[in-house]
């Protein structure tokens, strides 16, 4: 009997069909963030402005200098990443050299759409609200000056139009996720007024109606960033309230909470109140450092929450990390493959048995199943999947 057949047999004994798991796994889209390829710099020819507390560090050679190079790097990464995928773009990655952010249009992203079409990839999108001289005093949509706010409102409104264009052209929903860096280095006097202004700006941005099968609007909160330690306007409570009130998707970034908080434990609660959740799967080390995601307990816990509760149609999985100190293509490959491995582990979990034990208040059995199933041969199923997809089982060492 082949080793895969043996694994299939072992899993069938706990009620799991490995072929069905492989089939389901392959269809789960993972949105791969383009900004790992160039250390979050973009192609506008701008090297000015506040980074908003995002810090890519490292000087490894091979940083993509233009859109063609970035697409080549992505192509190289996708040779090793099995399964359905999307690419997550920021506004600063279009053919936008010399184009002001409040003047971008779908035509500036045509080369990305053509490329995505030919590779059968979806596209997601983000307004770029940092690294720009109009981020005045570290503020964008919450700035007291109406002119500054209007510049960024216009940018974000155009970004929605571009994302809707992605959705329409590719026949696949495009998520537009809005994150702003707005905040203060030190303790504020007035925490309320900036939040009121942010709310008003968001109301303006989300006023236009788009086909919900093309565009999904999402908002992303944050606790703090480097240089923005004292106060963040778009906090978790702010955006959770805003998303619930307005029926938007809420983005949970692994690095945007207190160090002992994990996003895996938030998914089930939020799923009761927001229509959709976007995940920015990342790895914080002591702060929101955006390290390459590992196949660690939290990654598996995130995947389990999505699979256990059947949330695949409501939770969109995206990656958000950037390490400039290692090979950028390999960084993508490691993180994206880990995400998919975690999903496979979740799909192979004997969840029904766990649930049954819990229903019977048999917590001994629950613990036993949890622990004993850890040594079921999921890696054999992974190898089989990679073989079927003609991607390497393990990256070449």
Q: Which is nearer to ligand RNT, 25 or 162 (CB)?
A: 162
Residue 182 is a catalytic residue: no
Q: Is 323 in the site for ligand RNT (CB under 6 A)?
A: no
Q: Is 222 in the site for ligand RNT (CB under 6 A)?
A: yes
Residue 222 is a catalytic residue: yes
Which residues lie closer than 8 Å to 55 by C-beta, 6 or more apart?
Answer: 226
Q: Is 253 in the site for ligand RNT (CB under 6 A)?
A: yes
The region that residue 53 occupies, defined by phi over 0 for left and psi between -120 and 50 for alpha, beta otherwise, is left
Residue 291 is a catalytic residue: no
Q: Is 253 in the site for Zn ion (CB under 5 A)?
A: yes
Count of Cβ atoms closer than 10 Å to residue 207 Cβ: 10
Q: Which is nearer to ligand RNT, 77 or 346 (CB)?
A: 77
C-alpha angle 151-155-161 in degrees, rounded to nearest 5: 145
Residue 288 is a catalytic residue: yes
Q: Which of 39, 124, 220, 323 is catalytic?
A: 220
Which one, of 178, 183, 91, lies nearest residue 143 by Cα?
183
93: three-class secondary structure by DSSP:
helix
For the window 169-208, what string marks contact with ligand RNT as x by the rule CB under 6 A?
----------x-----------------------------
Q: Which residues pair with 126 in a beta bridge?
A: 90
- Find where tokens 């582990």 sit: 345
In the list 35, 109, 210, 385, the residue contacting ligand RNT (rule: CB under 6 A) is: 35
Sign of the Cα pseudo-torsion (110, 113, 119, 125, in order): positive
In the list 217, 320, 323, 384, the residue contacting Zn ion (rule: CB under 5 A) is: 320
Q: Is 290 in the site for Zn ion (CB under 5 A)?
A: no
Q: Which is nearer to ligand RNT, 288 or 323 (CB)?
A: 288
Q: Which of 112, 115, 152, 179 is catalytic?
A: 179
- Find where tokens 């925490």 sit: 191
54 binds, among ligand RNT, Zn ion, none (CB under 5 to 8 A by kind): ligand RNT
Identify the helix (H) or strand (E) that includes residue 109.
Answer: none
Q: Which of 38, 290, 323, 384 is catalytic?
A: 290
Q: Is 304 in the site for ligand RNT (CB under 6 A)?
A: no
Q: Which is nearer to Zn ion, 253 or 349 (CB)?
A: 253
182 binds, among Zn ion, ligand RNT, none (CB under 5 to 8 A by kind): none
Q: How far is the CB of 393 from ligand RNT (least distance, A)?
A: 31
Q: In angstroms, how far is the first alpha carbon of the chain from the final one?
A: 29
83: three-class secondary structure by DSSP:
coil
Q: Which is nearer to ligand RNT, 50 or 384 (CB)?
A: 50
56: three-class secondary structure by DSSP:
coil
Q: Which is nearer to Zn ion, 198 or 279 (CB)?
A: 279
How many Cα atoms occupy the beta-carbon half-sphere of 278 within 13 Å? 31
Q: Judge contact between 84 and 97, C-beta under 8 A.
A: no
Helix, strand, coil tally for the chain in percent (to 5): 45, 15, 40
330 binds, among Zn ion, ligand RNT, none (CB under 5 to 8 A by kind): none
Q: Judge contact between 225 and 50, C-beta under 8 A.
A: no
341 binds, among Zn ion, ligand RNT, none (CB under 5 to 8 A by kind): none
Q: Which of 222, 236, 266, 276 is catalytic?
A: 222
Q: How far is the CB of 232 from Zn ion (least distance, A)?
A: 13
Touching ligand RNT, residues 137-166 (CB under 6 A): none
Residue 209 is a catalytic residue: no
Token readout for 111 is 């080369």
Q: How far is the CB of 191 from ligand RNT (least distance, A)?
A: 20
Q: Is 316 in the site for ligand RNT (CB under 6 A)?
A: no
Q: Judge contact between 182 and 232, C-beta under 8 A.
A: yes
Q: Which is nearer to Zn ion, 201 or 221 (CB)?
A: 221
Cα separation of 241 and 227, whole Å? 26
Angle, helix 110-119 to helix 146-170, in steps of 10 degrees: 30
Q: Which residues contribute to the site for ligand RNT (CB under 6 A)? A: 35, 40, 54, 90, 126, 179, 220, 222, 253, 280, 288, 320
Residues assigned a catalytic role? 179, 220, 222, 253, 256, 280, 288, 290, 320
């Amino acid at each position: 009997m082949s080793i895969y057949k043996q694994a299939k047999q072992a899993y069938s004994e706990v009620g799991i069909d490995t072929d069905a798991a492989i089939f389901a796994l392959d269809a789960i889209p993972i949105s791969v963030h383009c900004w790992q390829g160039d250390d979050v710099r973009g192609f506008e020819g701008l090297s000015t402005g506040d980074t908003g507390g995002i810090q890519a560090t490292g000087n490894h050679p091979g940083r993509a200098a233009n859109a063609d190079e970035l697409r080549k790097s992505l192509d190289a990464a996708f040779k090793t990443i099995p399964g359905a995928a999307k690419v997550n773009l920021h506004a600063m990655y279009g053919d936008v050299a010399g184009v002001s952010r409040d003047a971008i249009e779908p035509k500036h992203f045509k080369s990305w759409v053509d490329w995505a079409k030919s590779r059968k990839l979806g596209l997601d999108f983000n307004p770029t609200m940092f690294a720009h001289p109009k981020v005045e005093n570290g503020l964008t949509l919450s700035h007291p000056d109406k002119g500054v706010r209007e510049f960024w409102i216009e940018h974000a409104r155009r970004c929605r139009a571009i994302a809707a264009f992605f959705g329409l052209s590719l026949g696949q929903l495009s998520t537009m996720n809005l994150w702003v860096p707005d905040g203060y280095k030190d303790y504020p006097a007035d925490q309320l007024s900036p939040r009121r202004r942010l709310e008003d700006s968001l109301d303006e941005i989300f006023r236009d109606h788009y086909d919900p099968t093309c565009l999904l609007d999402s908002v992303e909160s944050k606790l703090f960033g480097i240089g923005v330690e004292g106060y963040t306007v778009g906090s978790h409570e702010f955006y959770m309230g805003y998303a619930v009130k307005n029926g938007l998707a809420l983005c949970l970034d692994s690095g945007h909470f207190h160090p002992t908080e994990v996003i895996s434990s938030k998914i089930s609660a939020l799923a009761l109140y927001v229509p959709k959740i976007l995940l920015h799967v990342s790895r914080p080390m002591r702060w929101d450092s955006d390290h390459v995601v590992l196949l660690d307990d939290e990654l598996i816990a995130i995947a389990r929450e999505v699979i256990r509760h059947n949330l695949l149609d409501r939770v969109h999985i995206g990656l958000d990390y950037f390490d400039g100190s290692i090979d950028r293509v390999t960084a993508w490959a490691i993180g994206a493959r880990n995400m998919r491995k975690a999903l496979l582990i979740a799909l192979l979990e004997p969840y029904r048995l766990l649930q049954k034990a819990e229903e019977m208040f048999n917590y001994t059995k629950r613990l036993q199943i949890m622990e004993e199933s850890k040594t079921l041969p999921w890696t054999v199923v992974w190898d089989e999947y990679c073989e079927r997809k003609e991607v390497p089982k393990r990256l070449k060492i």
